[in-house]
């Protein structure tokens, strides 16, 4: 039998070269989706194969890798991807946002400000921001070529007419470097402002759709809006029940079947770091509150 | 006190151990072997090789065993392995006219040179569950004829000699054949890429699309010109020795559909072609593929694109079951963050709605 | 005639050398004007600097047609080295090249002989790898654009002198355009198509 043997970081060198070339073009043309010959990975399409291929193409033995899903290092798919790289590339893994050199993420941008030594790799399901307005690739490609984004503005405006607001809560479209309209991946729009003028390099990988795109550091990223309906962030108006954070994005935890719920940071590293610094919320394991709940 | 959910790592390990246990099933029963799968579930192996794009019966059998018989999972396993293999080059084109045929039928002529050969087929069996097969059944020795010497001419070649069917569209000799596993797909796609896409496509998806053309969604009046299945030798041109060397034999099914004729003021009318080919004995797959191939030639043949099966972006973007299953099943991954975002928006909109209604009621009450 | 055994070696460790070299190029492309170093050791054929050779081994293969300036094109050993280590086809038509290797800046042809890509596929463009005298000393160029926090200062000595004037075609062409990687020994600086030269000091 052809017993399988795999390369450093799984991908063969030819595949890495192809992906690396695509990454360089993506950086040179901010927000433009570069087609690449995405490979079948040992995890399913839609589960981060694009992000995994980008990470595999950039990762070296000196890197420290962090993988998050929904902001958390301990969600099953984040664990599975982190394990994959620990096994195939032998890299050091961390949960600390500050210590990581490469952060692969699904659906969140960490709360901590990213720095220049870091690369943020997003897993992207549908890279085309116009796809739900126009299903045809030939058409959307033409719109990007001409910078013709009227369709998107019409959609957003229809939302306003119908609901009084732009009814997009996540994967909220942005314009990069005043040229390309880009899908930020399904992050909550709360995270959009973090993409603007960010010190870290942001890379986006869509495996099934075979696209790579990028936002270079210190690049203008603007959420689409209208003068009379400016973009606004959304977070549930409450402090984190564990660390008391007033400005982090919150997960809603259903605590019982009688409508009980609490809100905690979605970014687990942010929350734990704050707790380690002594910040406390109403439900935290602080000594003086331990007796409150079982 | 609230403690965030932890222990995902152990949960994954335990789940995989449980999966291995379930896969083995009742340990008092003998373990199924790869040769048993390859020999006795041969058509499952054929499908995994065809849609997995890798001709290796043993690995396909292993994949089926590992996937507990889930075909798409098995195809996925084979694909993921295939993606890591080094690419040495492309084989010489195979000439299916030289196939050692084990089955060959045509619905267009009663008798054809080389004859109709029914071969191993479910056709004309009565689909009655056979209790004999439950255990210990020893089938009769099959009646065998001597293998045919020489080539078996293709029905489409016979039609082609009189110009009754369009010549098989030829690629340009010095233009490399496309490979959608090495180059990202862009539209419009040429027929080489379309056929590769269809050869890897999900059998059920092609079946449904092919069926839809028969029911009027892009109808093209097909006849099964010929379906043949058999063994054929594969050769590779080795640059260092300067000639083609045989790599071995593969089993292959080929279907050529003869379709609705076209013609114009300048061209005499003739039948058109639809083509299907797949590893192993994969008749349903190749017939469906030939129907869809013909439909997708709409643009090239100047037909109006109206039906799903004629729409290459639609067909090619959704035909791959490994892509499709991944994305459909990814919905079970956590989406807490997005959902929270939507929930927030929905609550806000509902509150505004209620406020407006409340105001109106107040106003009504005041009036 | 040089035999393959006599050709300068490629990377000692293919996988990790390619990885570190790529990260330097990626960092250079992401932070235009910043000087990055190639740390991988590599033997070079005549006229190729260490950085150039390392980039070639990292990014070139069968799928990337490469255009060479006349000095490189006339050096058999360079072509054999490229062919043997990367398999990249060497072509004379610059307009379909994925990469162009320019060993001597004075030999840089008019940029419009290279591929700019199309508006639909602006990535189908030529990346020009240009060897220069120094990326440490020389006149100061003030750069701005994506990847640059305000302004970046590049101190460099290169030919052609009017490189940035020539690269100004990128403004009108965008998203089409030419990306350039400058190499001086093991130092590299990238000037992607979005970078603008906004000031010059002698």
What digits encode the pLDDT tens for the residues B159-178?
888 889 998 877 777 788 88
The chain B residue lying nearest A140, using CA atoms, is: B187
Provide, as residue numbers in chain C, all residues whose Cβ is less than 8 Å from the Cβ of A29.
Answer: 122-123, 175, 193-194
Phi, psi (rounded to 5 degrees) for A268? -65, -35
Residues B183 and B292 in one domain: yes
Q: Binning pLDDT at 50, 70 and 90, where does residue C191 land?
A: very high
Nearest to B190 by CA among B299, B303, B106, B32: B299
The chain A residue lying nearest B53, using CA atoms, is: A40
Q: Binning pLDDT at 50, 70 and 90, where does residue B2 land?
A: low
* Domain contains B116: yes
Distance separating alpha carbons of residues B344 and A251, to the nearest angstrom: 11
Please list the active-site residues of A: 31, 240, 243, 265, 271
Residues B46 and B106 in one domain: no
Residue C122 to residue A180, Cβ atoms within 8 A: no
* Domain contains B280: yes
Distance separating alpha carbons of residues B68 and B62, to the nearest angstrom: 10
3-class secondary structure, C196: strand
CA separation (Å) from A115 to A52, A78, A92, A120?
22, 22, 19, 10
Q: State yes or no: cis peptide before C160, omega within 30 of 0.
A: yes
pLDDT of residue B69: 97
Supply the DSSP symbol for B309.
G
Distance separating alpha carbons of residues B275 and B169, to the nearest angstrom: 11
**Can you tell me which residue has the tokens 């390619």?**
C18
Residues with Cβ within 8 Å of B310's Cβ and at least 6 positions away in sequence, in order, are B218, B295, B296, B298, B303
pLDDT at B19 over 60: yes
Residues B106 and B224 in one domain: yes
Phi, psi (rounded to 5 degrees) for A122? -95, 140
Nearest to C67 by CA among C132, C29, C115, C2: C115
CB of B1 within 8 A of CB of A292? yes
| Total length of chain A | 294
pLDDT of residue B6: 66
Other Cβ atoms within 10 Å of C58 Cβ, number: 28
* Domain contains B348: no
Distance separating alpha carbons of residues C146 and A217, to the nearest angstrom: 7
- The mean pLDDT of chain B is 91
Residues with Cβ within 8 Å of A40's Cβ and at least 6 positions away in sequence, in order, are A49, B76, B79, B80, B82, B83, B322
Residues with Cβ within 8 Å of B240's Cβ and at least 6 positions away in sequence, in order, are none
Disruptive mutation site among C18, C23, C30, C116 for chain A (greatest number of A CBs within 10 Å): C30
Percentage above 70 pLDDT, chain B? 98
Pull the structure tokens for residue B327. Answer: 């994305």
Residue B9 contacts A, CB cutoff 8 Å: yes
Residues B295 and B199 in one domain: yes
Nearest to A58 by CA among A99, A89, A95: A89
CB of A189 within 8 A of CB of A169? yes
* Domain contains B138: no
Residues B53 and B156 in one domain: no
Structural domain harbouring B208:
96-120+145-167+179-325
The chain A residue lying nearest C174, using CA atoms, is: A29
Provide the H-helix boundaries in C38-145: 50-59, 70-73, 76-86
Residues B246 and B319 in one domain: yes
CB of C97 within 8 A of CB of C91? yes
pLDDT of residue B226: 95
pLDDT at C128 over 90: yes
Q: Which one of C29, C146, C179 has the shortest CB-CB distance to A177?
A: C146
| Total length of chain B | 367
pLDDT one-digit tens code per residue, B102-161: 999 999 988 888 889 999 999 999 899 999 999 889 999 998 888 777 788 899 988 888
pLDDT one-digit tens code per residue, A160-218: 988 888 889 999 999 999 999 999 999 999 999 999 999 999 999 999 999 999 999 99
pLDDT of residue C57: 97
* Domain contains B354: no
Supply the DSSP symbol for B301.
T
Supply the DSSP symbol for A144.
H
pLDDT of residue A288: 43
pLDDT at B3 over 90: no
Residues B42 and B111 in one domain: no
Write the burial class of residue C191 (CB in 10 Å: 0-12 exposed, 13-18 middle, 19+ buried): buried
Residues B158 and B52 in one domain: no
Phi, psi (rounded to 5 degrees) for A205? -125, 125
Provide, as residue numbers in chain A, all residues whose Cβ is less than 8 Å from the Cβ of C193.
Answer: 28-29
DSSP-derived pairing of the beta strands C187-191 and C179-184 = antiparallel
The chain C residue lying nearest A119, using CA atoms, is: C27
Q: Which one of A167, A253, A283 has the shortest CB-CB distance to B345?
A: A167
Question: Residues A4-7: contacts with CB within 8 Å, 24+ apart?
Answer: A4/B81, A4/B84, A6/A88, A6/B84, A7/B84, A7/C15
Pull the structure tokens for residue A233. Answer: 């962030």
Residues B156 and B33 in one domain: no
pLDDT at B336 over 60: yes
| Total length of chain C | 202
Provide, as residue numbers in chain A, all residues whose Cβ is less than 8 Å from the Cβ of B343.
Answer: 252
pLDDT one-digit tens code per residue, C152-170: 999 999 999 999 999 999 9
**Can you tell me which residue has the tokens 């299945």?**
B229
Q: Which helix (H) or strand (E) holds A268?
A: helix A268-276
Pull the structure tokens for residue C78. Answer: 């360079």
Residue B338 to residue A190, Cβ atoms within 8 A: no
pLDDT of residue A2: 59
pLDDT of residue B5: 54
pLDDT of residue B268: 84
Residue A194 contacts B, CB cutoff 8 Å: no
Q: In chain B, how many domains are there? A: 2
Residue B182 contacts A, CB cutoff 8 Å: yes
Residues with Cβ within 8 Å of C7's Cβ and at least 6 positions away in sequence, in order, are C45, C77, C80, C81, C84, C85
Residues B70 and B101 in one domain: no
Distance separating alpha carbons of residues B123 and B103, to the nearest angstrom: 12
Segment B20-33 shows an average pLDDT of: 97
Chain B, window 84-103: residues with a beta carbon less than 8 angstroms from a chain A beta carbon = 84, 86-87
* Domain contains B103: yes
Residue A80 contacts B, CB cutoff 8 Å: yes
Residue B248 contacts A, CB cutoff 8 Å: no
CB of B225 within 8 A of CB of B159? yes
Question: Residues A291-294: contacts with CB within 8 Å, 24+ apart?
Answer: A292/B1, A293/B1, A293/B2, A294/B1
Residues B220 and B263 in one domain: yes
CA separation (Å) from B277 to B38, B201, B220, B255, B301?
21, 12, 19, 6, 21
Helix axes B71-82, B42-52, angle to 10 degrees: 50
CB of C99 within 8 A of CB of C125? no
CB of C143 within 8 A of CB of C152? yes
| Residue ranges, chain A, pLDDT below 50 | 286-294
Other Cβ atoms within 10 Å of C64 Cβ, number: 19
Provide the H-helix boundaries in B83-164: 155-161
Provide, as residue numbers in chain C, all residues whose Cβ is less than 8 Å from the Cβ of A7.
Answer: 15
Distance separating alpha carbons of residues C155 and C33, to the nearest angstrom: 9
CB of A219 within 8 A of CB of C146? yes
* Domain contains B257: yes
* Domain contains B357: no
pLDDT one-digit tens code per residue, A55-82: 999 999 999 999 999 999 988 899 999 9
Residues B245 and B149 in one domain: yes
Nearest to B235 by CA among B87, B50, B90, B46: B90
pLDDT one-digit tens code per residue, B262-308: 777 778 888 999 999 999 999 999 999 999 999 999 988 888 999 99
Handedness of CA C119, C122, C125, C131 (dihedral sign): positive
């Amino acid at each position: 039998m052809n017993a399988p043997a795999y390369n450093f970081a799984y991908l063969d060198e030819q595949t890495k070269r192809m992906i690396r070339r695509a990454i360089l073009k993506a950086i040179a043309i901010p927000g433009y989706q570069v087609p690449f010959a995405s490979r079948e990975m040992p995890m399913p399409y839609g589960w981060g194969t694009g992000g995994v291929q980008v990470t595999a193409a950039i990762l070296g033995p000196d890197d420290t890798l962090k993988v998050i899903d929904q902001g958390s290092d301990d969600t099953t798919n984040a664990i599975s991807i982190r394990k994959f790289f620990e096994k195939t590339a032998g890299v050091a893994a961390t949960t600390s946002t500050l210590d990581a050199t490469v952060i692969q993420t699904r659906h969140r941008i960490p709360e901590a400000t990213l720095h220049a030594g870091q690369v943020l790799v997003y897993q992207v399901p549908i890279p085309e921001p116009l796809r739900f307005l126009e299903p045809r690739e030939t058409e959307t490609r033409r719109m990007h070529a001409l910078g013709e984004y009227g369709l998107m503005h019409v959609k957003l405006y229809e939302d306003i007419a119908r609901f009084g607001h732009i009814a997009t809560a996540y994967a909220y479209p942005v314009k990069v470097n005043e040229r390309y309209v880009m899908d930020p991946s399904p992050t909550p729009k709360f995270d959009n402002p973090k993409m603007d003028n960010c010190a870290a390099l942001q890379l986006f990988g869509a495996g099934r759709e075979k696209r790579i795109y990028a936002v270079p550091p210190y690049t203008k990223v603007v959420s689409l809006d209208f003068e009379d309906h400016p973009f606004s962030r959304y977070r549930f108006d409450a402090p984190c029940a564990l660390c008391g954070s007033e400005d982090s994005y919150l997960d809603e935890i259903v605590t019982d079947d009688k409508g009980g719920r609490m809100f905690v940071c979605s970014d687990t590293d942010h929350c734990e770091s704050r707790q380690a610094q002594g910040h406390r919320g109403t439900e935290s394991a602080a000594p003086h509150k331990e007796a409150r709940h079982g | 006190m609230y403690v965030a959910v932890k222990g995902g790592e152990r949960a994954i390990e335990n789940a995989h151990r449980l999966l291995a246990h379930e896969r083995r099933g009742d340990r008092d029963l003998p373990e199924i072997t790869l040769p048993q799968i390859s020999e006795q579930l041969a058509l499952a192996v054929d499908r995994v090789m065809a849609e997995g794009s890798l001709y290796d019966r043993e690995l396909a059998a292993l994949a089926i065993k590992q996937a507990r018989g889930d075909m798409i999972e098995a195809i996925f396993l084979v694909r993921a392995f295939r993606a890591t293999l080094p690419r040495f080059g492309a084989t010489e084109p195979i000439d299916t006219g030289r196939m050692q045929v084990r089955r060959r039928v045509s619905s267009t002529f009663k008798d054809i040179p080389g004859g109709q050969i029914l071969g191993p087929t479910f056709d004309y069996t009565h689909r009655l569950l056979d209790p004999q097969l439950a255990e210990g059944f020893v089938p009769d020795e099959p009646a065998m004829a001597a293998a045919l010497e020489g080539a078996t001419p293709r029905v489409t070649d016979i039609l082609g000699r009189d110009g009754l069917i369009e010549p098989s569209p030829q690629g340009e000799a010095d233009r490399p054949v496309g490979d959608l596993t090495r180059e990202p797909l862009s539209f419009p796609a040429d027929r080489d890429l379309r056929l590769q896409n269809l050869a890897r496509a999900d059998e059920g998806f092609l079946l449904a699309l092919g069926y839809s053309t028969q029911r009027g969604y892009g109808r093209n009046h097909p006849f099964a010109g010929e379906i043949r299945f058999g063994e054929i030798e594969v050769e590779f041109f080795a640059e260092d020795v300067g000639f083609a060397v045989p790599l071995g034999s593969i089993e292959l099914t080929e279907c050529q559909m003869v379709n609705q004729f076209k013609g114009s003021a300048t061209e005499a009318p003739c039948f058109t072609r639809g083509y299907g080919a797949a590893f192993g004995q994969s008749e349903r797959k190749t017939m469906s593929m030939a129907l869809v191939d013909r439909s997708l030639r709409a643009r090239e043949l100047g037909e109006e694109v109206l039906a799903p099966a004629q729409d290459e972006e639609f067909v090619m973007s959704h035909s791959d079951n490994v892509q499709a299953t991944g994305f459909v099943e990814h919905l079970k991954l956590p989406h807490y963050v997005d959902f929270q975002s939507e929930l927030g928006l929905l609550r806000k909109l509902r509150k505004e709605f209620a406020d407006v209604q409340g105001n109106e009621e107040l106003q009504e009450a005041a009036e | 005639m040089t035999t393959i055994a006599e050709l300068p070696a490629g990377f000692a460790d293919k996988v990790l050398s390619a990885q570190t070299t790529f990260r330097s190029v990626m960092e250079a492309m992401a932070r235009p004007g910043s000087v990055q170093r190639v740390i991988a050791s590599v033997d070079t054929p005549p006229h190729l600097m260490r950085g150039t050779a390392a980039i070639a081994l990292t990014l070139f293969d069968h799928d990337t047609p490469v255009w060479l300036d006349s000095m490189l094109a006339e050096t058999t050993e360079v072509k054999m080295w490229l062919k043997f280590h990367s398999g990249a086809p060497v072509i004379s038509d610059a307009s379909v090249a994925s990469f162009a290797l320019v060993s001597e800046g004075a030999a840089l042809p008019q940029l419009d002989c290279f591929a700019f890509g199309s508006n639909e596929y602006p990535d189908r463009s030529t990346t020009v790898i240009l060897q220069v005298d120094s990326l440490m000393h020389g006149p100061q160029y003030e750069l701005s654009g994506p990847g640059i926090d305000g302004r970046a200062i590049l101190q460099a000595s290169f030919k052609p002198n009017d490189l940035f004037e020539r690269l100004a075609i990128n403004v009108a062409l965008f998203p089409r355009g030419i990306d350039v990687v400058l190499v001086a020994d093991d130092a590299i600086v990238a000037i992607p198509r979005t970078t603008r030269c906004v000031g010059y000091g002698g």
